[in-house]
Chain A
């Protein structure tokens, strides 16, 4: 049976929902953070934020906006893993630990295979730009690597050379850059694959510029690996519900998006947010803030909190304990997943529904 606790003491789900509703509706500016949940959980959370006139944010916003800020200010070209496996004759990997970010990456992209839809039927060429030498090993595959201690600089130099413009660097480095550029320019359909915290929005915009330049003479696209905890699914859900991604507030009664003002951790540390709802259904992530504020947590069972939340409900994992819809890296779209080990552990959407029921329409003011 699922666990609900109020101030650390076991309680019924109904009592927990009642207490959560009290805490959240008493706040001037409640914030829903974490948001590691499926599409139904995200929908319920955003509706609750609207009812409470609070804000919401995702735990992986920094990664989300590294890609999204480039997409909405400069544009980004994307492709899917399947398209990559079937057509890409050149794979350009950028960043370290890509296989840790997406353990199924090699199985899904099959870099060792000859791309099925490539007419030339030649083995794929594999390039990897990575800090240090250890990060770019794939068992039994020949990879050309570019050791980059500074991805910003390396990507800039690579893009300048690909466009045939001069750069200032040592001859040895220049030779290596030009070897890479030759492979990129001769790609029939190349795909750049990136992920991880070593890339920020500026380096991704530089990479996108390289992709755009290459498309003047050939075809090249991108495959960002994104973040965990259904980050992409939550952003899409937020998009169709409010027109904005996460870091959106209903404080004034209408959705308002601001990546700085509605950063949940900043809001809490500065004292602007006075209650929080932390949601983490996929893994045991604890809230990143230090300040002690009234906290309601819908968390997976192993989550270790620094301070016991005022209300804590253990929730099931979408696709394991209950059915759920979430963004899938494999297909680059939202998919439905049936429960693999169905259990009575409640879903985030169900608990939020219980909380929302207990908040009157006239809760505000």
Chain B
């Protein structure tokens, strides 16, 4: 079945909230009804039809042709189906998603994958800060699913990560894996300062570790059986991450300031 295609007409003058444009909310809607959905965030009304040229198709697969850094909440609360964005996205891409496949071909703003609990989110470009992180006043970040960034990620990627797997193929800025509760964070490029700050449990794997903080203690080099099993599972998503996990790894335990049951691995 053909995808529903939304072609952006021009750069919007205000930030837009595209949370209503997900498969389960569009189910059963005619193209005319989709065009009437309001997406503005200021007093000036903007509908989906004002901003996109809509080519009808099955709502289970939605394609955005072109993007903008002002398009927020794409794929928010997504439960199923597929969304592909052939361009940039704004804040909170895939926020709270629990299923389906969401792919952004360009860059995205902060808080992508915020509090996602399932499904697959892939960002081909760069991601902003606070990847997978909780929003204001929330206690938990990402709690499940797979999040892959092919480019670089901003500061505090994987903040309060609780479950799921987060792979950054490019570099990560300062404090990746801050306040991690559990889950797995892998960074293949350069890594900013103090990874795993305040982490309680969970696993961080770094291809190029910076100097670790004083609250991480050396546990020696390991050839872990689990790492090689996990490596096999990761291969379809990221060959480089799979390769990193198949090597012998140093293990550092921390953050001793918090619970101290987390670990940072890097190649011997």
Contact = CB atoms under 8 A, between A and B. Distances in A.
B255 interface: yes
Nearest to B110: A260
Interface string A216-249: 0000000000000000000000000000000001
Interface string B229-268: 0000000000000000000000000011110100000000
Nearest to A259: B136
Interface stretch (A79-87, A163-171, A329-337): A163-171
B136 A156 contact: no
B43 A251 contact: yes
B178 interface: yes
A257 B136 contact: yes
Contacts of B43: 28, 53, 251, 253, 364-365
Contacts of B70: 272
B48 to A, nearest CB: 16
A101 interface: no
Contacts, number: 110
Contacts of B156: 202
A331 B257 CA distance: 32
Contacts of A69: 136
B178 A165 contact: no
Contacts of B215: 156-157, 159-160, 165, 167-168
Contacts of A7: none
A320 to B, nearest CB: 35
Nearest to B72: A261
Interface residues of B, number: 41
Contacts of B13: 28
A118 to B, nearest CB: 29
A191 to B, nearest CB: 20
A258 interface: yes
Contact of A168 (B111, B135, B217): B217
A92 to B, nearest CB: 16
A131 interface: no
Interface in B214-231: 214-218
B38 to A, nearest CB: 9
Nearest to A159: B257
A208 to B, nearest CB: 10
Contacts of A53: 42-43
Contacts of B63: none
B260 A206 contact: no
B47 interface: no
Interface string A42-84: 0000000000010000000000000001001100000000000
B175 A202 contact: yes
Contacts of A166: 217, 256
Contacts of B256: 156, 160, 163, 165-167
Interface string B29-61: 000000000001111110000000000000000
A205 B257 CA distance: 11
A169 B146 CA distance: 36
A247 to B, nearest CB: 9
A111 to B, nearest CB: 27
Contacts of B44: 28, 365
Nearest to B212: A168
Contacts of A260: 91, 109-111
Contacts of A29: 14, 42
Residue in B110, B138, B256, B260 with the greatest tally of chain A CB atoms within 10 Å: B256
Interface in A6-56: 28-29, 53
A153 interface: yes
A157 B134 contact: no
9 contacts: A28-B43, A72-B136, A153-B213, A168-B215, A209-B198, A260-B109, A261-B15, A272-B14, A364-B43
Interface of A: 28-29, 53, 69, 72-73, 152-153, 155-160, 163, 165-169, 202, 205-206, 209-210, 249, 251-253, 256-261, 272, 364-365
Given A157-B214, A206-B197, 16 more contacts: A28-B43, A29-B42, A73-B138, A156-B256, A159-B215, A163-B256, A163-B257, A165-B215, A165-B260, A168-B215, A202-B197, A210-B257, A252-B41, A252-B42, A258-B135, A364-B43
Those 3 A-B pairs whose CB atoms lie nearest each other, nearest first: A160-B256, A159-B257, A165-B256
